[in-house]
Structure formats: structure tokens, C-alpha cells
């Protein structure tokens, strides 16, 4: 199978939202894990593609959507927008979980709390990204190329650094980021990685 990378187009939105769901469980398929599969892309793909389509890339494998990279170049501004505009528009579909427990409740609490606190590493690494590839697009150097394209775009904008959060259970992703020169921060339960772009 041959994979190609191209700029994101709005017509990719639904197919890449599906890729988000199919890679959301520590890199595996999360279909059916939540009461509404749409929560995954509502948190981790759609807001990025909608707000920063110029920093979104689509991966196609044999003509089908097989992955993406999306990025917010200014995390503070993005999270403020998410809190004030994006999430309120989705509150009816994804209501606050109250005292409920479990994975879905945790995700909903995370969503409603975004933008309220800024971790210290954001100052030096203001951009953050999400990258997801279906198995057919992996092992071809696509992820490395995506990160390279993004880093070039961020440098052109004068962004000094980038960070990301990974699922500690996704062992392959943890190794991948370290191989690309990202540094894993100590004491971060969600496996936060940073990389300087200077």
C-alpha cells in the first residue's frame, strides 16, 4: 500500500473524523467504547481542522483517508476559543457528566475544563499537535514526514516549540516520539512530550 500526504480539505472532515475514532483507544479502534463515538473527533480532530486548516494534513492510502496531523500553533488562544466557543456549541450533544465515573465521564470533564489552566511547559512550547494513522499507513515513514512538515510550518511562523500528550498505554507512539527528538517530561501521567523548534 502506498500512502501520500497532502493538505487537508474540508471534504476530508468526515472520513478523518472516522480515523480519529478508529485510533482513539491507545492507537486502536475505539468504536463503541462511548455512548457517542462522535465525542472523540469533537475533542481531538474537528476543532483543530476547523480553526487551523492550514496546519492540517491528510494521509491517503490507496486513495482512502488513512491518517492526519492537526495542530494549534498557540495553545492558550486555542484552548480559550475551545472553552468559550467550540464546546458550548456542543454542550447539548455532550452534556456535563455530573458525578458519573468512567472513561466517557472523564473525557467530558476534560472537555468542559479545557482552557482553565495552562501547564508551565506551554510557555516554551506553545503549539500542540494530534497525529493519528491507521495501521495501513504505518511503517512507511509517514509519521516522520508529517512531523517534519509541521515543524517547518511552525518555524516559518516563529513558533519556538511544540508539545503533545500521548496515552501511556500506546507503547509504539511513545517510542516514535522519542525517536523524533521529543523529550518526555517527568511526572506527567498523560505522557507529555516537548520539542524545541529553534
Could you report the per-residue pLDDT of 101-115, keeping only the tens digit for each? 999 999 999 999 998
**Contact present, 69 and 147 (Cβ < 8 Å):** yes
Give Dmax over CA atoms of the chain in angstroms: 47
Domain with 43 in it: 3-163
Domain total for the chain? 1
CATH code of the domain containing 144: 3.40.630.30
Q: Is residue 102 part of a domain?
A: yes
pLDDT at 30 over 80: yes
Give SS3 for 41. Answer: helix
Q: What does the block give as the cell for 23?
A: 485510533
User: What single DSSP character describes residue 18?
Assistant: H
- pLDDT tens-digit map of 129-156: 999 999 999 999 999 999 999 999 999 9
Q: Is residue 121 part of a domain?
A: yes
- The residues, any chain, with a CB within 8 Å of residue 44's CB and separated by 6 or more, are 20, 24, 130
Average pLDDT over residues 116-141: 95
pLDDT (0 to 100) of residue 188: 60
pLDDT band with cut points at 50, 70 and 90 for residue 187: confident
Q: Is residue 131 part of a domain?
A: yes
Q: Is residue 179 part of a domain?
A: no
Q: Is residue 170 part of a domain?
A: no
Q: Is residue 183 part of a domain?
A: no
Q: Is residue 168 part of a domain?
A: no
- pLDDT tens-digit map of 34-92: 999 999 999 999 999 999 999 999 999 999 999 999 999 999 999 999 999 999 999 99
131: part of which helix (H) or strand (E)? strand 127-133
Q: Is the pTM of this model over 0.85?
A: yes
Q: Is residue 188 part of a domain?
A: no
Separation CA 62–CA 110 (nearest Å): 36
Candidates 16, 67, 23; CA nearest to 45 is: 16
Separation CA 13–CA 81 (nearest Å): 20
pLDDT (0 to 100) of residue 2: 87
Amino acid at each position: 500500500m502506498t500512502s501520500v500526504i497532502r493538505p487537508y480539505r474540508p471534504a476530508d472532515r468526515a472520513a478523518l473524523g472516522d480515523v480519529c475514532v478508529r485510533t482513539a483507544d491507545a492507537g486502536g479502534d475505539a468504536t463503541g467504547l462511548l455512548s457517542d463515538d462522535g465525542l472523540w473527533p469533537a475533542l481531538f480532530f474537528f476543532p483543530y481542522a476547523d480553526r487551523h486548516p492550514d496546519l492540517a494534513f491528510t494521509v491517503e492510502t490507496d486513495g482512502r483517508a488513512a491518517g492526519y496531523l492537526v495542530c494549534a500553533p498557540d495553545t492558550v488562544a486555542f484552548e480559550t476559543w475551545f472553552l468559550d466557543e467550540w464546546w458550548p456549541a456542543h454542550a447539548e450533544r455532550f452534556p456535563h457528566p455530573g458525578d458519573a465515573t468512567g472513561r466517557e465521564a472523564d473525557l467530558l470533564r476534560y472537555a468542559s475544563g479545557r482552557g482553565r489552566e495552562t501547564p508551565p511547559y506551554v510557555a516554551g512550547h506553545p503549539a500542540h499537535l494530534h497525529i493519528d494513522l491507521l495501521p495501513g499507513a504505518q511503517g512507511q515513514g509517514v509519521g516522520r514526514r508529517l512531523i517534519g512538515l509541521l515543524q517547518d510550518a511552525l518555524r516559518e511562523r516563529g513558533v519556538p516549540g511544540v508539545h503533545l500528550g500521548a496515552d501511556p498505554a500506546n507503547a509504539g507512539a511513545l517510542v516514535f516520539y522519542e525517536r523524533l527528538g521529543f523529550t518526555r517530561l517527568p511526572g506527567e501521567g498523560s505522557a507529555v512530550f516537548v520539542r524545541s523548534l529553534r
